[in-house]
Amino acid sequence: MQKILVARPIFPEVIDRLKQYFDVEWNNGDALPADELTRRLADKDGALTAGDPVGAATLAAAPRLRVVANMAVGYNNFDMAAFNAANVLGTNTPDVLNETTADFGWALMMATARRITESEHFLRAGKWEKWQHDAFLGADVYGSTLGIVGMGRIGQAIARRAKGFNMRVVYHNRSRVAHGIEAELNAEYRSKEALLREADHVVLVLPYTSENHHTIGAAELALMKPTATLTNVARGGIVDDAALAEALRSRRIAAAGLDVFEGEPNVHPGLLTVPNVVLTPHIASASEATRRAMANLAADNLIAALGEGPRAGHPANPINPDVLGKARS
């Protein structure tokens, strides 16, 4: 029987599914340190991960490893050049979290615009003594201009929701989406710089790549309106957190909502000391139904990639499909 490692705690019923096909080693505790993950993968044929870094050294130490299934859409935790060189398949879990993440992006953007976290802290601290006409004045969402950076499936889902708020939608993407999609979403393409100057609320939903590192830094923040908000439900590293903390402190922009951070779970200390930021711990996809769907899709990919189940040999979500069917090198 083939051996697999499930590197993170997931739903027990998913483990039970995997046990129908494999000898399963399950880490039901904290994330494994890199050296421990490498040690545990040494005799495994496959693995299910959730953001755990897997690079060339780990692959070299695991000669039987044929597939690593990531329980996430993003896969910047994988060194894909090393995966390709070793003929190891990587898979991810796209689509099942689009709507849930779009919902959360809206929730975070609206909480940011209307200063909900800041005002709640004020109330909980016992400081609310009277109604004031100018207390916690925020920014309107209805009728404003929404700027979406990254117009993939999640970006499009966010844009669809803007119709109900009578918003103008401008977007920037590596390439323009089809004209029909632009028309359906009533979305207008802009350069990144033009979008930042124009938008009242900027939402980031682009994948992390080396090219996208610090897509939003000091220079980009300087282009934004001082009344604008920035929301990041994409990946840490897309925003220069140090530059953002300074922009918030100096009120260069009005506020930010962040679900992801550079070096998470660590958070830049400057972001913890400014009041005009809403912070959440990477939970944009965290509805129960969606997280269960992600876990099951990751399991489906792993089962199929290792030649088992109804889709044997044909996983639904290969990241590097060219290695399918090739011997491990």
Please list the active-site residues.
235, 264, 282
* CA triple 301-306-311, angle to 5 deg: 55
CA atoms within 13 A on the CB side of 11: 16
Query: Is the link from the previous residue into 63 a cis peptide, with omega within 30 of 0?
Result: no
Give which of 298, 304, 246 is closest to 271, Cα–Cα: 246
Cα separation, 143 vs 145, in Å, equals 7
Q: Residue 254, class by beta-carbon neighbours within 10 Å (0-12 exposed, 13-18 middle, 19+ buried)? A: buried
Give which of 92, 64, 65, 66 is closest to 78, Cα–Cα: 92
Give which of 194, 168, 157, 192 is closest to 73, Cα–Cα: 157
Token couple for 265: 């779970």
Q: Are 203 and 105 in contact (CB under 8 A)?
A: yes
